[in-house]
Amino acid sequence: MITAQMVKTLREKTGAGIMDCKKALAEHEGDMDKASEYLREKGLAAAEKKASRTASEGVIDSYIHLGGKVGVLLELNCETDFVAKTQEFKELAHNIAMQIAAMKPLYIDKEEIPKDVLEKEHQIAKAQAANEGKPEHLLDRIADGRLERFLKESCLLRQEYIKDGDKTVKELLTEAVSKIGENIQIGRFVRFAVGENQSAEEEQESEEGN
């Protein structure tokens, strides 16, 4: 028997509508995990269809942390001004800004990373593996794995969401697209930390001196 509490729990977990939750639970005989997976797959499919739609509205959100030592500006886009003004969309933008402040991503996703940066990271990872005495025929495979870790750390969409480690930021956006019903995209972001730029300049001068 599918109870109201089961539907409520699934809805809170997935963000799906009441009728979708009831249907998912009924089709999977009350199995919460299978119903959740079904709704997630359905949400992914819906998000893919919406991904090509223009997202030219949105908000600029700011987040200041650690007594003014770290700050973030984020542009989060959607399709309509109506959605941009909703509390749900504004909260999503703020949560992503908090993510950026905490996890220091450098890019939105892999497509933003210059080719020479990717090649350099791969070469560094390969050299590290060689210095560790890894077999020659495995060096490229090991470097590929370490490059993937670099992408998960450096790309916002690939990072684990700080409020729920079971999902990535990309999955967070996908769920929001499914729930809100519009294409949602991260337009751009910038992160500031007091003294960070000065430290980077000193490091660069040190490298040039060597």
pLDDT of residue 24: 87
Work out the pLDDT band at 53, boundaries 50, 70, 90: confident
| pLDDT at residue 208 greater than cutoff 90 | no
Whether 5 and 34 have beta carbons less than 8 Å apart is answered as no
Work out the pLDDT band at 66, boundaries 50, 70, 90: confident
Against a cut of 0.85, is the pTM above it?
Answer: no
Q: Residue 156, SS3?
A: helix
Q: Which domains does the chain have, with CATH numbers?
A: 4-50 (1.10.8.10), 57-100+163-209 (3.30.479.20), 114-151 (1.10.286.20)
User: 164-186, pLDDT tens digit by residue?
Assistant: 998 999 999 988 988 888 889 99
